[in-house]
């Protein structure tokens, strides 16, 4: 069983597992117009991932309403794990390099698995899970009811 965590703006809660955000904006592991859902292996990693992404978009974090959602994949959900040895130098840089964008986009287009386990660029010893919402195994992933989330006030930068 794999437990995955995702933090979203409350207003995007209903589309959180559609891949809409990455479809519109692209991401480290996908090109624009590729709907991939980004999740993390822990709520604390999801917190850091959301924190750096909101900082990069200049959101006033004390004013955003957030939710977190847990998704559970059973052992029969297909999974691919990209080995760290396959990642080139600079894979975790900013901006994201084409290698990671190309890899995730090809994984999605080939519909290889429902989940892709990747290193986090924020905490490189931890992992994120990408979800292909178009894969047949997606329906086997249980998405729990979201709950409210907020950053600790000490994380707010002036």
pLDDT at 63: 67
Q: Residue 40 burial (CB < 10 Å; 0-12/13-18/19+)?
A: buried
Strand-strand pairing, 142-143 and 66-73? antiparallel
Say if residues 17 and 28 touch (Cβ distance below 8 Å).
Answer: no
Mean pLDDT of the chain: 90
pLDDT at 111: 97
pLDDT at 83: 74
Per-residue pLDDT of the chain (158 residues; tens, 9 = 90+): 999 999 998 988 888 999 898 888 889 999 999 999 999 999 999 999 988 877 655 555 556 789 999 999 999 999 999 977 789 999 999 888 999 999 999 999 999 999 999 999 999 899 999 999 999 999 999 999 999 998 777 776 54
pLDDT at 156: 64
pLDDT at 158: 44
Which residues are CB-neighbours of 89 under 8 A, at least 6 positions away? Answer: none
Q: Give the C-alpha separation, 71 to 32, whole Å.
A: 24
Which residues are CB-neighbours of 43 under 8 A, at least 6 positions away? Answer: 5, 68
CA angle 28, 40, 50 (to 5 degrees): 65
The answer to whether the predicted template modeling score (pTM) of the entire model surpasses 0.85 is yes
Q: Indicate the domain borders of the chain.
A: 2-151
Q: Return the residue matching tokens 């195994």.
A: 137
pLDDT at 53: 78
pLDDT at 131: 98
């Amino acid at each position: 069983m794999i437990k995955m965590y995702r933090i979203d703006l409350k207003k995007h809660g209903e589309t959180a597992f559609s891949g809409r955000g990455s479809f519109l904006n692209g991401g480290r592991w996908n090109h624009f117009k590729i709907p991939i859902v980004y999740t993390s292996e822990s709520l604390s990693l999801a917190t850091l991932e959301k924190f750096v992404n909101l900082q990069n978009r200049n959101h006033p974090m004390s004013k955003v309403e957030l939710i977190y959602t847990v998704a559970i994949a059973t052992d029969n959900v297909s999974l691919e794990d990209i080995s760290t040895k396959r990642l080139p130098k600079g894979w975790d840089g900013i901006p994201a390099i084409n290698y990671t964008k190309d890899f995730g986009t090809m994984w999605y287009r080939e519909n290889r698995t429902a989940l892709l386990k990747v290193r986090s660029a924020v905490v490189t010893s931890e992992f994120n899970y990408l979800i292909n919402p178009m894969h047949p195994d997606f329906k086997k992933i249980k998405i729990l009811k979201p709950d409210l989330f907020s950053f600790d006030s000490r994380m707010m930068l002036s």
